[in-house]
Structure 1
Amino acid sequence: MDERRRLAKEVELAATPDEVWEAISTPEGMSVWFVPHERVDGEVEADFGGGNTQAGQVLAWEPGERVVYGAPGPDGEPPMTLEFLVEGRGDGTTVLRLVQSGFFGGDDWEAEYDGFGKGWDMFLHNLAEYFRHFSGRPVANVVATASTTRPGAEVWADLVARLGADPALGDRVRLTPEGLEPVEGVVDLHIGSVLLGVRTEQGFYRFMVDDAHHMVNTIQYFYGVQVDRESRSAAWQAWVDDLAGAPGHGRGR
Protein backbone atom coordinates (compact mmCIF):
# COMPACT_ATOMS: atom_id res chain seq x y z
CA MET A 1 0.00 0.00 0.00
CA ASP A 2 1.18 3.52 -0.80
CA GLU A 3 2.62 4.89 2.47
CA ARG A 4 0.79 8.17 1.87
CA ARG A 5 -2.47 6.28 2.32
CA ARG A 6 -1.58 5.42 5.89
CA LEU A 7 -2.64 8.38 8.01
CA ALA A 8 -0.95 8.65 11.40
CA LYS A 9 -1.65 11.07 14.26
CA GLU A 10 -0.57 11.31 17.87
CA VAL A 11 -1.46 13.44 20.86
CA GLU A 12 -0.08 13.75 24.39
CA LEU A 13 -2.83 13.68 26.99
CA ALA A 14 -2.96 14.80 30.62
CA ALA A 15 -4.43 11.46 31.68
CA THR A 16 -3.37 8.01 32.87
CA PRO A 17 -3.05 5.09 30.43
CA ASP A 18 -6.14 3.51 32.03
CA GLU A 19 -8.18 6.66 31.39
CA VAL A 20 -7.03 6.84 27.77
CA TRP A 21 -7.69 3.12 27.26
CA GLU A 22 -11.25 3.62 28.50
CA ALA A 23 -11.68 6.47 26.02
CA ILE A 24 -10.67 4.41 22.97
CA SER A 25 -11.87 0.91 23.84
CA THR A 26 -15.49 1.39 25.00
CA PRO A 27 -18.56 2.90 23.30
CA GLU A 28 -19.03 5.24 26.27
CA GLY A 29 -15.43 6.40 26.03
CA MET A 30 -15.50 6.91 22.27
CA SER A 31 -18.66 9.00 22.62
CA VAL A 32 -16.83 11.40 24.94
CA TRP A 33 -14.62 12.80 22.16
CA PHE A 34 -15.65 11.25 18.82
CA VAL A 35 -19.30 10.62 17.84
CA PRO A 36 -21.97 8.60 19.68
CA HIS A 37 -21.07 4.89 19.80
CA GLU A 38 -23.00 1.85 20.92
CA ARG A 39 -22.78 -1.93 20.65
CA VAL A 40 -25.26 -3.39 18.16
CA ASP A 41 -25.39 -7.14 17.48
CA GLY A 42 -21.79 -7.66 18.51
CA GLU A 43 -20.46 -4.74 16.48
CA VAL A 44 -19.57 -1.18 17.43
CA GLU A 45 -21.78 1.36 15.63
CA ALA A 46 -20.89 5.03 15.24
CA ASP A 47 -23.59 7.64 14.61
CA PHE A 48 -22.42 10.54 12.41
CA GLY A 49 -25.84 12.24 12.32
CA GLY A 50 -28.47 12.67 9.64
CA GLY A 51 -29.06 8.91 9.49
CA ASN A 52 -25.39 8.21 8.71
CA THR A 53 -24.09 5.29 10.77
CA GLN A 54 -21.08 3.02 10.39
CA ALA A 55 -20.55 -0.33 12.07
CA GLY A 56 -17.30 -2.17 12.59
CA GLN A 57 -15.71 -5.02 14.50
CA VAL A 58 -12.81 -5.26 16.90
CA LEU A 59 -10.03 -6.88 14.85
CA ALA A 60 -7.26 -6.78 17.45
CA TRP A 61 -7.32 -6.33 21.22
CA GLU A 62 -4.37 -5.92 23.56
CA PRO A 63 -5.86 -4.64 26.83
CA GLY A 64 -4.47 -1.33 27.97
CA GLU A 65 -2.22 -0.97 24.94
CA ARG A 66 -3.77 -1.49 21.49
CA VAL A 67 -7.12 -1.89 19.78
CA VAL A 68 -7.92 -2.10 16.06
CA TYR A 69 -11.37 -1.49 14.56
CA GLY A 70 -12.44 -2.33 11.02
CA ALA A 71 -15.12 -3.73 8.73
CA PRO A 72 -14.08 -6.93 6.90
CA GLY A 73 -14.31 -6.74 3.11
CA PRO A 74 -15.54 -9.45 0.74
CA ASP A 75 -12.09 -11.10 0.63
CA GLY A 76 -11.83 -11.20 4.40
CA GLU A 77 -9.58 -8.14 4.59
CA PRO A 78 -10.72 -4.85 6.15
CA PRO A 79 -10.99 -2.06 3.54
CA MET A 80 -10.30 0.51 6.25
CA THR A 81 -8.95 0.11 9.78
CA LEU A 82 -8.45 2.34 12.80
CA GLU A 83 -5.62 1.37 15.13
CA PHE A 84 -5.18 3.04 18.53
CA LEU A 85 -1.96 2.65 20.54
CA VAL A 86 -1.61 3.78 24.17
CA GLU A 87 1.78 4.60 25.71
CA GLY A 88 2.13 5.86 29.28
CA ARG A 89 4.82 8.37 30.18
CA GLY A 90 6.67 8.67 33.47
CA ASP A 91 5.46 12.23 34.03
CA GLY A 92 1.84 11.15 34.39
CA THR A 93 0.84 11.85 30.80
CA THR A 94 -0.08 9.38 28.06
CA VAL A 95 0.60 9.42 24.33
CA LEU A 96 -2.19 8.17 22.07
CA ARG A 97 -1.29 7.19 18.51
CA LEU A 98 -3.88 6.65 15.80
CA VAL A 99 -3.24 4.99 12.43
CA GLN A 100 -5.92 4.89 9.74
CA SER A 101 -5.27 2.60 6.77
CA GLY A 102 -7.12 1.56 3.63
CA PHE A 103 -8.12 4.75 1.84
CA PHE A 104 -10.18 4.44 -1.31
CA GLY A 105 -8.26 4.21 -4.58
CA GLY A 106 -10.15 6.80 -6.65
CA ASP A 107 -8.61 9.85 -8.25
CA ASP A 108 -9.75 12.05 -5.37
CA TRP A 109 -8.22 9.95 -2.58
CA GLU A 110 -5.84 12.79 -1.64
CA ALA A 111 -8.80 15.07 -0.88
CA GLU A 112 -10.32 12.27 1.18
CA TYR A 113 -7.01 11.81 3.02
CA ASP A 114 -6.80 15.54 3.77
CA GLY A 115 -10.41 15.61 4.97
CA PHE A 116 -9.87 12.69 7.35
CA GLY A 117 -6.70 14.35 8.62
CA LYS A 118 -8.54 17.54 9.57
CA GLY A 119 -11.30 15.49 11.17
CA TRP A 120 -8.88 13.55 13.34
CA ASP A 121 -7.16 16.79 14.37
CA MET A 122 -10.51 17.95 15.69
CA PHE A 123 -11.42 14.71 17.47
CA LEU A 124 -8.02 14.27 19.13
CA HIS A 125 -8.18 17.91 20.23
CA ASN A 126 -11.58 17.11 21.75
CA LEU A 127 -10.02 14.29 23.77
CA ALA A 128 -7.18 16.47 25.02
CA GLU A 129 -9.59 19.25 26.00
CA TYR A 130 -11.94 16.76 27.66
CA PHE A 131 -9.19 15.56 29.99
CA ARG A 132 -8.13 19.16 30.61
CA HIS A 133 -11.57 20.61 31.41
CA PHE A 134 -14.22 17.88 31.89
CA SER A 135 -12.39 14.70 32.90
CA GLY A 136 -14.58 12.01 34.43
CA ARG A 137 -17.90 13.54 33.41
CA PRO A 138 -20.32 11.52 31.26
CA VAL A 139 -21.30 12.91 27.87
CA ALA A 140 -24.53 13.60 26.01
CA ASN A 141 -23.98 14.00 22.26
CA VAL A 142 -25.92 15.95 19.67
CA VAL A 143 -25.01 15.28 16.03
CA ALA A 144 -26.54 16.69 12.84
CA THR A 145 -25.20 16.10 9.31
CA ALA A 146 -26.46 16.98 5.85
CA SER A 147 -25.23 16.50 2.31
CA THR A 148 -24.89 19.56 0.09
CA THR A 149 -24.31 20.36 -3.57
CA ARG A 150 -23.09 23.85 -2.73
CA PRO A 151 -19.40 24.80 -2.94
CA GLY A 152 -17.64 24.56 0.41
CA ALA A 153 -16.60 28.22 0.49
CA GLU A 154 -20.21 29.27 -0.06
CA VAL A 155 -21.49 26.99 2.68
CA TRP A 156 -18.85 28.29 5.08
CA ALA A 157 -19.73 31.93 4.40
CA ASP A 158 -23.39 31.12 5.03
CA LEU A 159 -22.51 29.14 8.17
CA VAL A 160 -20.66 31.98 9.90
CA ALA A 161 -23.34 34.46 8.80
CA ARG A 162 -26.07 32.31 10.37
CA LEU A 163 -24.02 31.90 13.54
CA GLY A 164 -23.65 35.68 13.73
CA ALA A 165 -19.85 35.64 14.12
CA ASP A 166 -16.65 34.65 12.33
CA PRO A 167 -14.21 34.78 15.26
CA ALA A 168 -10.53 33.93 15.52
CA LEU A 169 -8.86 31.30 17.70
CA GLY A 170 -8.94 32.34 21.36
CA ASP A 171 -11.78 34.86 20.97
CA ARG A 172 -14.69 34.92 23.36
CA VAL A 173 -17.81 34.60 21.26
CA ARG A 174 -21.60 34.56 21.41
CA LEU A 175 -23.10 32.62 18.49
CA THR A 176 -26.74 33.31 17.66
CA PRO A 177 -28.12 30.56 15.38
CA GLU A 178 -31.68 31.50 14.42
CA GLY A 179 -34.34 29.51 16.25
CA LEU A 180 -31.82 27.98 18.67
CA GLU A 181 -30.33 29.05 21.97
CA PRO A 182 -27.17 31.21 21.85
CA VAL A 183 -23.78 29.57 22.27
CA GLU A 184 -21.31 31.41 24.52
CA GLY A 185 -17.70 30.40 25.04
CA VAL A 186 -14.15 30.51 23.75
CA VAL A 187 -13.04 29.59 20.23
CA ASP A 188 -10.68 26.66 20.88
CA LEU A 189 -10.54 25.36 17.29
CA HIS A 190 -10.43 27.15 13.96
CA ILE A 191 -9.17 25.61 10.72
CA GLY A 192 -9.61 27.96 7.75
CA SER A 193 -13.00 27.71 6.06
CA VAL A 194 -13.44 24.17 7.35
CA LEU A 195 -13.89 24.04 11.10
CA LEU A 196 -15.07 26.24 13.95
CA GLY A 197 -15.01 24.96 17.52
CA VAL A 198 -16.28 26.63 20.70
CA ARG A 199 -15.69 25.46 24.28
CA THR A 200 -18.46 26.44 26.66
CA GLU A 201 -18.85 25.90 30.41
CA GLN A 202 -20.72 22.66 29.65
CA GLY A 203 -18.79 21.21 26.72
CA PHE A 204 -17.96 21.69 23.03
CA TYR A 205 -19.70 22.85 19.87
CA ARG A 206 -18.08 21.85 16.57
CA PHE A 207 -19.12 23.06 13.11
CA MET A 208 -17.47 21.56 10.03
CA VAL A 209 -17.80 22.03 6.27
CA ASP A 210 -16.36 19.00 4.44
CA ASP A 211 -16.05 20.04 0.80
CA ALA A 212 -14.40 16.75 -0.23
CA HIS A 213 -17.43 14.73 0.89
CA HIS A 214 -19.98 17.51 0.17
CA MET A 215 -21.23 17.58 3.75
CA VAL A 216 -21.82 20.02 6.58
CA ASN A 217 -22.32 19.07 10.20
CA THR A 218 -22.32 20.01 13.84
CA ILE A 219 -21.20 17.75 16.68
CA GLN A 220 -21.92 18.87 20.22
CA TYR A 221 -20.76 17.45 23.55
CA PHE A 222 -22.43 18.18 26.91
CA TYR A 223 -20.62 16.90 29.99
CA GLY A 224 -22.30 16.09 33.27
CA VAL A 225 -25.60 17.86 32.42
CA GLN A 226 -29.06 16.70 31.44
CA VAL A 227 -29.81 17.23 27.73
CA ASP A 228 -32.90 16.38 25.70
CA ARG A 229 -30.90 14.80 22.92
CA GLU A 230 -33.90 13.92 20.74
CA SER A 231 -35.40 17.40 20.53
CA ARG A 232 -32.03 19.16 20.36
CA SER A 233 -30.81 16.84 17.61
CA ALA A 234 -33.98 17.39 15.60
CA ALA A 235 -33.69 21.17 15.92
CA TRP A 236 -30.04 21.24 14.86
CA GLN A 237 -30.70 18.76 12.04
CA ALA A 238 -33.32 21.13 10.63
CA TRP A 239 -30.84 24.00 10.92
CA VAL A 240 -28.09 22.05 9.15
CA ASP A 241 -30.50 20.81 6.46
CA ASP A 242 -31.49 24.39 5.72
CA LEU A 243 -27.85 25.48 5.59
CA ALA A 244 -27.03 22.67 3.17
CA GLY A 245 -29.89 23.66 0.83
CA ALA A 246 -30.23 26.28 -1.87
CA PRO A 247 -28.88 29.77 -1.18
CA GLY A 248 -32.35 31.20 -1.64
CA HIS A 249 -33.39 29.52 1.60
CA GLY A 250 -30.63 31.18 3.63
CA ARG A 251 -31.34 33.25 6.69
CA GLY A 252 -27.94 34.87 6.93
CA ARG A 253 -27.51 37.84 9.23
Structure 2
Amino acid sequence: MPIKKDETGKHWVEMEFITPGTPEQVWRAIATGSGNTAWFTKTTIDEHVGGRLHFDFGPNGASTGEVTIWEPPFRFGYVEREWSEGAPPVATEITVTSRSGDHCVVRMVHSLFASTDDWDDQLEGFESGWPGFFEVLRVYLSHFAGEKASSASWPTRRPASSRLGGGSPRRSVWPAQTSVRSGAARNSRRDYPAWSNACGRTTSSDLSCCA
Protein backbone atom coordinates (compact mmCIF):
# COMPACT_ATOMS: atom_id res chain seq x y z
CA MET A 1 0.00 0.00 0.00
CA PRO A 2 1.49 3.41 -0.94
CA ILE A 3 2.49 5.95 1.65
CA LYS A 4 -0.36 8.25 2.61
CA LYS A 5 0.09 11.95 3.31
CA ASP A 6 -2.08 14.86 4.37
CA GLU A 7 -1.85 18.64 4.54
CA THR A 8 -0.54 18.58 8.13
CA GLY A 9 2.71 16.89 7.05
CA LYS A 10 1.70 13.48 8.36
CA HIS A 11 3.14 10.53 6.43
CA TRP A 12 1.97 7.03 7.23
CA VAL A 13 1.72 3.42 6.11
CA GLU A 14 -0.86 0.95 7.33
CA MET A 15 -1.08 -2.82 7.29
CA GLU A 16 -3.93 -5.15 8.18
CA PHE A 17 -4.03 -8.92 8.56
CA ILE A 18 -6.13 -11.68 10.11
CA THR A 19 -4.64 -13.97 12.74
CA PRO A 20 -5.90 -16.83 14.88
CA GLY A 21 -6.51 -16.06 18.54
CA THR A 22 -8.82 -14.23 20.89
CA PRO A 23 -8.26 -10.50 21.50
CA GLU A 24 -6.62 -11.36 24.82
CA GLN A 25 -4.20 -13.82 23.19
CA VAL A 26 -3.32 -11.41 20.40
CA TRP A 27 -2.86 -8.57 22.87
CA ARG A 28 -0.39 -10.59 24.95
CA ALA A 29 1.58 -11.37 21.80
CA ILE A 30 1.83 -7.80 20.50
CA ALA A 31 1.74 -5.60 23.60
CA THR A 32 3.91 -7.41 26.16
CA GLY A 33 7.63 -8.02 26.31
CA SER A 34 7.37 -11.79 26.65
CA GLY A 35 4.83 -11.93 23.82
CA ASN A 36 6.99 -9.99 21.35
CA THR A 37 10.04 -12.00 22.37
CA ALA A 38 8.25 -15.19 21.37
CA TRP A 39 7.72 -14.25 17.71
CA PHE A 40 9.63 -11.06 16.89
CA THR A 41 12.75 -10.15 18.87
CA LYS A 42 13.83 -9.82 22.49
CA THR A 43 11.59 -7.10 23.90
CA THR A 44 10.80 -5.39 27.19
CA ILE A 45 7.67 -3.26 27.67
CA ASP A 46 6.50 -1.37 30.74
CA GLU A 47 2.78 -2.04 30.56
CA HIS A 48 1.30 1.42 31.03
CA VAL A 49 1.13 4.78 29.26
CA GLY A 50 4.50 6.47 29.66
CA GLY A 51 6.25 3.13 30.07
CA ARG A 52 9.54 2.28 28.39
CA LEU A 53 9.69 -0.04 25.38
CA HIS A 54 12.91 -1.65 24.17
CA PHE A 55 13.53 -3.85 21.11
CA ASP A 56 16.88 -5.69 21.19
CA PHE A 57 18.14 -6.63 17.72
CA GLY A 58 21.43 -8.05 18.95
CA PRO A 59 24.38 -7.07 16.71
CA ASN A 60 21.97 -5.07 14.56
CA GLY A 61 21.35 -2.58 17.35
CA ALA A 62 18.33 -1.68 19.43
CA SER A 63 15.40 0.68 19.44
CA THR A 64 13.73 2.30 22.43
CA GLY A 65 10.40 4.02 22.75
CA GLU A 66 7.62 5.16 25.03
CA VAL A 67 4.17 3.62 25.38
CA THR A 68 1.57 6.19 24.32
CA ILE A 69 -1.62 4.08 24.14
CA TRP A 70 -2.54 1.28 26.53
CA GLU A 71 -6.11 0.04 26.12
CA PRO A 72 -6.07 -3.74 26.56
CA PRO A 73 -6.95 -5.84 24.73
CA PHE A 74 -7.81 -3.66 21.73
CA ARG A 75 -5.43 -0.72 21.25
CA PHE A 76 -1.67 -0.32 21.80
CA GLY A 77 0.68 2.45 20.69
CA TYR A 78 4.20 3.71 21.18
CA VAL A 79 6.60 6.33 19.83
CA GLU A 80 10.28 5.91 18.93
CA ARG A 81 12.11 9.23 19.04
CA GLU A 82 15.70 8.16 18.31
CA TRP A 83 15.24 5.51 15.65
CA SER A 84 17.52 7.37 13.21
CA GLU A 85 19.73 10.44 13.53
CA GLY A 86 17.89 13.59 12.52
CA ALA A 87 14.62 11.77 11.92
CA PRO A 88 11.27 12.90 13.29
CA PRO A 89 9.68 10.60 15.89
CA VAL A 90 7.87 7.63 14.41
CA ALA A 91 4.62 6.53 16.06
CA THR A 92 3.14 3.04 15.91
CA GLU A 93 -0.48 2.23 16.66
CA ILE A 94 -1.89 -1.30 16.71
CA THR A 95 -5.58 -2.12 16.98
CA VAL A 96 -7.13 -5.54 17.52
CA THR A 97 -10.69 -6.30 16.39
CA SER A 98 -12.40 -9.57 17.24
CA ARG A 99 -13.87 -11.73 14.48
CA SER A 100 -15.92 -14.88 14.66
CA GLY A 101 -14.18 -18.23 14.98
CA ASP A 102 -11.50 -17.10 17.44
CA HIS A 103 -9.76 -14.87 14.91
CA CYS A 104 -8.83 -11.20 15.04
CA VAL A 105 -8.09 -8.44 12.57
CA VAL A 106 -4.89 -6.62 13.46
CA ARG A 107 -4.22 -3.18 12.00
CA MET A 108 -0.80 -1.55 12.35
CA VAL A 109 -0.03 2.06 11.41
CA HIS A 110 3.42 3.70 11.38
CA SER A 111 3.36 7.50 11.08
CA LEU A 112 5.57 10.54 11.32
CA PHE A 113 5.37 14.26 10.59
CA ALA A 114 7.81 15.76 8.08
CA SER A 115 7.92 18.68 5.65
CA THR A 116 9.76 16.59 3.03
CA ASP A 117 9.66 13.04 1.67
CA ASP A 118 13.12 12.24 3.06
CA TRP A 119 11.85 9.51 5.36
CA ASP A 120 9.37 7.83 3.03
CA ASP A 121 11.83 5.08 2.07
CA GLN A 122 12.15 4.14 5.72
CA LEU A 123 8.39 3.96 6.14
CA GLU A 124 8.20 1.74 3.07
CA GLY A 125 10.89 -0.43 4.65
CA PHE A 126 8.66 -0.93 7.66
CA GLU A 127 5.75 -1.92 5.45
CA SER A 128 7.71 -4.39 3.34
CA GLY A 129 9.58 -5.90 6.27
CA TRP A 130 6.68 -6.85 8.53
CA PRO A 131 4.74 -9.48 6.51
CA GLY A 132 7.23 -12.28 7.17
CA PHE A 133 7.00 -11.68 10.90
CA PHE A 134 3.21 -11.55 10.72
CA GLU A 135 3.37 -15.09 9.36
CA VAL A 136 5.52 -16.14 12.33
CA LEU A 137 2.99 -14.47 14.62
CA ARG A 138 0.17 -16.48 13.04
CA VAL A 139 2.06 -19.72 13.60
CA TYR A 140 2.82 -18.75 17.19
CA LEU A 141 -0.82 -17.91 17.95
CA SER A 142 -2.07 -21.05 16.20
CA HIS A 143 0.12 -23.47 18.14
CA PHE A 144 1.98 -21.75 20.98
CA ALA A 145 -0.23 -18.89 22.18
CA GLY A 146 0.80 -17.69 25.61
CA GLU A 147 3.99 -19.74 25.76
CA LYS A 148 7.20 -17.96 26.66
CA ALA A 149 10.33 -18.17 24.56
CA SER A 150 14.01 -18.62 25.09
CA SER A 151 16.36 -16.37 23.16
CA ALA A 152 19.59 -17.46 21.50
CA SER A 153 22.15 -15.30 19.75
CA TRP A 154 25.27 -16.17 17.82
CA PRO A 155 27.76 -14.30 15.63
CA THR A 156 27.02 -14.24 11.92
CA ARG A 157 29.72 -14.27 9.28
CA ARG A 158 29.17 -11.55 6.73
CA PRO A 159 31.52 -9.60 4.49
CA ALA A 160 32.64 -6.39 6.09
CA SER A 161 30.89 -4.40 3.37
CA SER A 162 27.51 -5.87 4.37
CA ARG A 163 27.78 -5.01 8.03
CA LEU A 164 26.59 -1.81 9.58
CA GLY A 165 28.37 1.03 7.83
CA GLY A 166 30.23 3.93 9.28
CA GLY A 167 28.68 7.07 10.61
CA SER A 168 26.22 7.39 13.43
CA PRO A 169 25.26 4.09 15.09
CA ARG A 170 21.71 5.37 15.49
CA ARG A 171 21.37 6.06 11.78
CA SER A 172 22.72 2.62 10.97
CA VAL A 173 20.21 0.80 13.16
CA TRP A 174 17.30 1.51 10.81
CA PRO A 175 18.57 -0.24 7.65
CA ALA A 176 19.68 -3.18 9.78
CA GLN A 177 16.23 -3.52 11.31
CA THR A 178 14.60 -3.23 7.88
CA SER A 179 16.91 -5.95 6.56
CA VAL A 180 16.00 -8.24 9.43
CA ARG A 181 12.28 -7.74 8.83
CA SER A 182 12.54 -8.04 5.04
CA GLY A 183 14.54 -11.27 5.27
CA ALA A 184 11.70 -13.00 7.05
CA ALA A 185 9.32 -12.24 4.20
CA ARG A 186 11.17 -14.70 1.98
CA ASN A 187 10.08 -17.49 4.34
CA SER A 188 6.55 -16.21 4.97
CA ARG A 189 4.82 -19.12 3.20
CA ARG A 190 6.18 -21.73 5.62
CA ASP A 191 3.77 -22.96 8.24
CA TYR A 192 3.71 -25.39 11.15
CA PRO A 193 5.02 -28.02 11.81
CA ALA A 194 8.22 -26.34 10.60
CA TRP A 195 8.15 -23.94 13.57
CA SER A 196 11.93 -23.97 13.87
CA ASN A 197 12.14 -22.93 10.21
CA ALA A 198 9.64 -20.12 10.73
CA CYS A 199 11.92 -18.75 13.43
CA GLY A 200 15.36 -19.89 12.39
CA ARG A 201 15.31 -18.95 8.71
CA THR A 202 14.93 -15.23 9.32
CA THR A 203 18.07 -13.14 8.93
CA SER A 204 18.07 -11.91 12.51
CA SER A 205 21.05 -13.11 14.53
CA ASP A 206 19.03 -12.85 17.72
CA LEU A 207 16.19 -15.31 17.29
CA SER A 208 13.48 -16.60 19.61
CA CYS A 209 12.05 -20.10 19.72
CA CYS A 210 9.55 -21.57 22.11
CA ALA A 211 11.24 -23.55 24.84
Q: TM-score band, normalised by the shorter chain?
A: 0.5 to 0.7
Instruction: List runs of 5+ in structure 1 lacking aligned partners.
Output: 152-190, 209-216, 226-253
Q: How many Å separate the matches in 1 of 2:121 and 2:130?
A: 14
Q: How many Å separate the matches in 2 of 1:9 and 1:147?
A: 33
User: Out of 192, 199, 205, which is 1:204 matched to?
Assistant: 199
Pair 1:10 & 2:22 matched: no
Pair 1:222 & 2:204 matched: no
**Which deviations, in whole Å up to 9, do the C-alpha atoms of 1:149-202 show, x marking residues without a partner?**
349xxxxxxxxxxxxxxxxxxxxxxxxxxxxxxxxxxxxxxx799744666354
Instruction: State the shift of 1:97 in Å.
Output: 0.8
CA contact (8 A) 1:205 1:218 kept: no
CA contact (8 A) 1:27 1:37 kept: yes
Number of aligned residue pairs: 173
SS in structure 2 at match of 1:120? helix
Pair 1:44 & 2:53 matched: yes
Q: How many Å separate the matches in 1 of 2:134 and 2:184?
A: 19
CA contact (8 A) 1:103 1:113 kept: no
CA contact (8 A) 2:14 2:109 kept: yes
Output aligned runs, 1:19-38, within 5 Å.
Answer: 19-38=25-44
User: Out of 128, 145, 148, which is 1:135 matched to?
Assistant: 145
- Opposite residue 44 of structure 1, the aligned amino acid is L
Q: How many Å separate the matches in 2 of 1:42 and 1:79?
A: 16
Instruction: Tell me what 1:116 maps to.
Output: 126
Q: How many Å separate the matches in 1 of 2:202 and 2:107?
A: 24
Q: How many Å separate the matches in 1 of 2:97 and 2:15?
A: 14
Q: How many Å separate the matches in 2 of 1:72 and 1:221?
A: 26
RMSD (Å), alpha carbons: 3.6
Runs of 4+ residues deviating >6 angstroms: 103-107, 144-147, 191-194
- Opposite residue 222 of structure 1, the aligned amino acid is C
User: Out of 64, 71, 75, which is 1:62 matched to?
Assistant: 71
Taking a change above 3 Å as real, the CA distance of residues 206 and 102 of structure 1, as seen in their structure-2 partners, is: farther
CA contact (8 A) 1:23 1:30 kept: yes
User: Out of 108, 115, 130, which is 1:98 matched to?
Assistant: 108
Q: How many Å separate the matches in 2 of 1:60 and 1:109?
A: 24
Instruction: Tell me what 2:89 maps to.
Output: 79
Percent of aligned pairs sharing the same letter: 28
Instruction: State the shift of 1:65 in Å.
Output: 1.1
Instruction: State the shift of 1:47 in Å.
Output: 0.2
CA contact (8 A) 1:58 1:70 kept: yes
